[in-house]
């Protein structure tokens, strides 16, 4: 282990691993050799070690799934025990029933459940059911929903998409019920589904989600909450429990199985039980190690104060971030639900929000704190992790205040490509 090994591995990666670099849509993670850790070695609790031996308080937690922390003993035992029975069998395994029952008991909309592997699978299934059920094609959406065509067709830069699909999806503005109403009226009788993250880097204003619920009902379209990140995280029953608005269907994943690959579409029985008509299936749907992990994870989330703890940690982060920012005269906040926070920062002179975010991420890393601009607490993050993060916030804002004064990132952002493409940002000239 060490920097030399990392560089050697990275050279090999560049020669063979097409998927090894982070997807460009994940913006802030453009990285070359520099401050940003390149390859992961292992995790424990709320910390991760890279192949150079660097140790980080990890606020990304595998992009959200590792809600209990790395290597939770009950989850590991469940996986080991199940391995002895076989990871994939030729018939539906009882674990599928057991996990489906747990999801039904926790998620308000879940009368029926269908498993997938990725969030993208569950959402693609939901949209297909909505289209089959309504006989309509158009989808209105808010948020990020994975890599399948129904969604990516709406991303102009995404190539390889049939042009005929481009007009089947349209975004709407969050927290603006008037915008959704306008789109529904302009497309009367054409909207199959409204697919949305109920909370992302903003939370819903009072009454907003209920208005969305009412509008979708009035227009005969199906409301699908994308709860891939919020499910089992912002509350045991996800955003629908937290904000008290129940959709027709919801996609869950990530926190469902503490890092093992599993997702599910859940929702009203009349929709879920039509999946035979929409051609849904995949070889690994019933893979038992992930189901065993999900059973153990859901039992812990149901019986221990996991979601309360995530909220407490998130609030501590929010307060620490804000007070460091204020101490250094900077208007910056952590926004969104406390268990799913994102950095908000305003433009300052020539420094765009993304430029300043890049610098903060770099400075946090120097103090052993890993974030891509989001903070996803896990049950295992402890006071030591919080204290280290508080120090990183303070040092980060100290440097940012100096960069703001100089009105440039030159001499401050030392890692080429850490977060912005230099050529694109005036602060790097
Ligand atoms: C809100 C949301 N929906 C859908 C997805 C796609 O899930 P997956 O990457 O598991 O296909 C993600 C992944 O980050 C997500 O955050």
| Residue 25 binned pLDDT confidence (cut-offs 50, 70, 90) | very low
230 Cβ inside 6 Å of ligand 1: no
Strand partners, 222: 193
Closest alpha carbon to 191 in 214, 216, 156: 216
Distance 119 CA to ligand 1 centre (A): 5
Angle at 111 between CA 297 and CA 306, to 5 degrees: 25
Closest alpha carbon to 103 in 263, 275, 213, 287: 263
User: Residue 225: is it exposed, middle or buried by C-beta count within 10 angstroms (0-12/13-18/19+)?
Assistant: buried
pLDDT 10s digits, 197-232: 999 999 999 999 999 999 999 999 999 999 999 999
Distance 143 CA to ligand 1 centre (A): 10
Q: Give domain 73-303's CATH architecture.
A: 3-Layer(aba) Sandwich (3.40)
pLDDT 10s digits, 4-23: 888 888 888 878 888 766 54
pLDDT for the residue 17 = 84
User: Residue 216: is it exposed, middle or buried by C-beta count within 10 angstroms (0-12/13-18/19+)?
Assistant: buried
- 3-60+306-428 and 73-303 have identical folds: no
Distance 251 CA to ligand 1 centre (A): 9
**Helices 73-83 and 288-303: angle between axes, nearest 10 degrees:** 150
Q: Is the pLDDT of residue 29 over 90?
A: no
pLDDT for the residue 170 = 98
pLDDT for the residue 198 = 98
CA distances from 47 to 3, 297, 300, 334, 388 (A): 19, 19, 20, 21, 12
Which strands sit side by side in the sheet containing 138-142, from one edge to the other?
112-116, 263-267, 249-252, 222-227, 191-196, 138-142, 169-171
8 A C-beta contact, residue 243 and residue 234: no
pLDDT 10s digits, 113-128: 999 999 999 999 999 9
| Residue 364 binned pLDDT confidence (cut-offs 50, 70, 90) | very high
Region of residue 72 (left: phi > 0; alpha: psi -120 to 50; beta: else): beta
Q: Give the residue whose CA is nearest to atom 13 of ligand 1.
A: 146
State the average pLDDT for the chain: 92
* Reported CATH class of domain 3-60+306-428: alpha beta
241 Cβ inside 6 Å of ligand 1: no
pLDDT 10s digits, 230-286: 999 999 999 999 999 999 999 999 999 999 999 999 999 999 999 999 999 999 999
Dig out the tokens for 191 from the structure: 């909207």
The pTM score is 0.95
Q: Is the pLDDT of residue 292 over 90?
A: yes
What is the rounded average pLDDT of the residues 375-382? 98
Domain map of the chain by residue range?
3-60+306-428, 73-303
pLDDT for the residue 34 = 55
416 Cβ partners below 8 Å, 6+ apart?
A: 32, 34, 422
Dig out the tokens for 398 from the structure: 């100290």
Distance 374 CA to ligand 1 centre (A): 14
8 A C-beta contact, residue 177 and residue 212: yes
Q: Give the residue whose CA is nearest to atom 6 of ligand 1.
A: 146
pLDDT for the residue 331 = 96
Higher-pLDDT residue of 38 and 91 is 91
Closest alpha carbon to 302 in 82, 75, 105, 108: 105
| Residue 428 binned pLDDT confidence (cut-offs 50, 70, 90) | low
pLDDT 10s digits, 72-81: 999 999 999 9
pLDDT 10s digits, 311-340: 999 999 999 999 999 999 999 999 999 999
Q: Give the residue whose CA is nearest to atom 7 of ligand 1.
A: 119
CA distances from 323 to 195, 330, 359 (A): 36, 10, 18
pLDDT for the residue 9 = 87
């Amino acid at each position: 282990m060490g920097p030399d090994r990392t560089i050697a591995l990275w050279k090999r990666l560049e020669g063979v691993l097409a998927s090894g670099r982070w997807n460009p849509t994940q913006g802030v993670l453009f990285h070359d050799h520099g401050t940003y850790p390149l390859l992961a070695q292992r995790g424990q609790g709320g910390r991760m070690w890279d192949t150079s031996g660097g140790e980080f308080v990890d606020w990304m937690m595998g992009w959200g799934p590792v809600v209990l922390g790395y290597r939770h003993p009950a989850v590991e035992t469940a996986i080991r025990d199940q391995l002895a029975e076989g990871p994939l069998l030729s018939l539906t395994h009882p674990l599928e029933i057991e996990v489906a029952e747990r999801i039904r008991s926790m998620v308000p909309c879940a009368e029926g459940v269908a498993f997938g592997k990725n969030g993208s699978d569950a959402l693609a299934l939901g949209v297909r059911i909505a289209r089959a059920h309504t006989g309509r094609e158009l989808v209105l959406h808010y948020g990020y929903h994975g890599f399948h065509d129904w969604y990516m067709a709406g991303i102009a830069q995404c190539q390889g998409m049939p042009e005929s699909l481009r007009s089947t999806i349209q975004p709407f503005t969050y927290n603006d019920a008037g915008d959704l109403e306008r789109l529904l009226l302009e497309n009367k009788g054409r909207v199959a589904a409204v697919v949305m993250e109920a909370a992302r880097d903003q939370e819903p204003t009072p009454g907003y989600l209920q208005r969305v619920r009412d509008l979708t009902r009035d227009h005969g379209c199906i409301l699908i909450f994308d709860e891939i990140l919020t499910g089992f995280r912002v509350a045991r029953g996800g955003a629908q429990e937290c904000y008290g608005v129940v959709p027709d269907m919801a996609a869950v994943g990530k926190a469902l199985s503490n890092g093992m690959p599993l997702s599910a579409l859940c929702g009203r029985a009349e929709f879920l039980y039509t999946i035979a008509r929409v051609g849904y299936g995949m070889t690994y749907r019933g893979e038992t190690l992930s189901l065993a992990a999900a059973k153990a994870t859901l039992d812990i989330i149901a019986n221990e104060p996991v979601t309360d703890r995530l909220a407490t940690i998130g609030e501590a982060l929010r307060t620490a971030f804000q007070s460091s920012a204020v101490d250094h005269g900077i208007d910056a906040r952590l926004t969104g639900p406390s268990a799913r926070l994102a950095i908000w920062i305003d433009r300052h002179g020539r420094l765009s929000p993304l430029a300043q975010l890049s610098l903060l991420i770099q400075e946090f890393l120097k103090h052993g704190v890993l974030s891509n601009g989001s903070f996803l607490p896990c049950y295992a993050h402890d006071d030591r992790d919080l204290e280290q993060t508080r120090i990183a916030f303070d040092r980060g804002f100290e440097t940012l205040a100096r960069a703001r004064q100089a009105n440039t990132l030159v001499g401050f952002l030392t890692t080429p490509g850490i977060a912005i493409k230099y050529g694109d940002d005036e602060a790097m000239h």
